[in-house]
Each structure stands twice: as structure tokens, then as C-alpha cells.
Amino acid sequence: MPSKIVVGLGNPGAQYAQTRHNIGWMVLDRLADRAGWAGRARDRDAAATVGGRYKGLDLILVKPMTFMNDSGIAVRKILARERAPLPEMLVVVDDFSLPFGKLRFREGGGPGGHNGLRSIIDELASEKFARLRVGIGEPNRGFVDHVLSTFAPEEKARLDELVDAAADAVEAWAREGVNKAANRHNSFELRPADADRVAPPGAVDGPPGADGIRRTRTGWRKVRPDTPE
């Protein structure tokens, strides 16, 4: 069985690291952390890649190191090197047509105004690959300024949970395929920004307890020390 290839879209450079456009990279970083692969990526064929065996899955995580508009170059090269068919690839991408915190799997289709997806489609001459679209909220200004902006404070307070949920969704795709993953994760709802004021510790989407663990709709989560509450 070929490895499952997960591509996260983003822009290289510290100035872009925390922007909305880079949420695909944030999701891949979370997966690398879970697998114990953080800091082990290798630069090759215009991408930073890392992979191995994780929870019974053979995964390759790919962060194109071109700027967003040329993401397809790295994707074409990694698919050729791994001799992987398109159904074995998932692209994790930001989407400003979705509300902040929503997740949507899609099996194919056009770029929807996303230059990274457009580059991949052009390089592969195909739209037939799965995407996990992560909602970054509708722009209230020009969309370029929006995608290159950082998250608002009330969004940052919930960003860790969103990245965790998206990483869960990627694992589900790798294990079960896009349709079952979509059935489970397309209905994901991020807790409201003020939920910690109305829900007691231990309640679904309430604040973490004394042990630092919060109960969410998809399971129990250990809150990271740097996560604002």
C-alpha cells in the first residue's frame, strides 16, 4: 500500500507563520507533533517533508516551500517521487468562504479562488484530489489582506482546538477515506468564544479543569500551556 500523502498549504517565512493563509501548515505541524516527527523534516523537491508509521498509518506530510502561488510544483514532484495515485493525497487548505472554525471535506472541484489549489490543479492537470477546507472566516476587507492577516483575539483563543480537530479529520481520512471522514467531521462545531464563561469545567466545550483537560465534542483535550483561555 502506498503512503498517504498530506499536503498543507502555506507561505514560507516567519512573517507568514501565524497568518490565516498558513493554517494548512499549522495542521501539519500538529500531526508532526503527535507522531514525534517535529524538527525532522527534510527539504527536497521544493518541499519540507517528513513521514513514517503513525498509529498504523503510513503518512508523508508535505509543506511546499514555494510561495502559495507555486504550490503545485512541489505537489507534482512528491507524487512523482512516491509514485502515488491522486486518491492517496489530501490537501489541507484555508477557505474564507467558510466561517471560522468549520471543516469541509471535498473530493474534487475547482480552486474556488484559492491560488494554491489553482497551482496544484494546473500542475497536475486534474481536479480529482481530496481537500480538507478549514474555515478562516469571511473577509471584511480585501481578501488578500484577510488571508495574510493574523487571527483575531477571540479566534486565537479557539485556534488550538480548531487545529486539533482538523488534525483528527486528517487522521480519519487516512484511515477511513474521504466519505466517512466527511460524515464525521463536516458537522464539527467550534465552541463559541465566550463558552468558558457559561459552561462549567467538565461540560462539553467548557473550560479546562484543574488538570488542564477540556471536554470537547470530539473527545477530551489537553490544553497546551501557551493556549490562551
C-alpha cell at 27: 495542521
Domains belonging to the chain, first-starting first, are 4-190 (3.40.50.1470), 191-229 (no CATH)
Q: Which residue has the higher pLDDT, 227 or 168?
A: 168
Tell me the pLDDT of the chain averaged across its residues. 88
pLDDT at 112 over 80: yes
pLDDT at 31 over 90: yes
pLDDT at 213 over 90: no
Phi and psi, residue 62, nearest 5°: -130, 125
Count of alpha carbons within 13 angstroms of residue 12, beta-carbon side: 12
Residue 229 is predicted with a pLDDT of 36
Name the catalytic one among 21, 114, 146, 185. 21
Respond yes or no: is residue 146 known to be catalytic: no
pLDDT at 53 over 60: yes
pLDDT confidence band for 127 (50 / 70 / 90): very high
Residue 224 is predicted with a pLDDT of 56
Residue 182 is predicted with a pLDDT of 97
pLDDT at 173 over 70: yes
pLDDT confidence band for 191 (50 / 70 / 90): confident
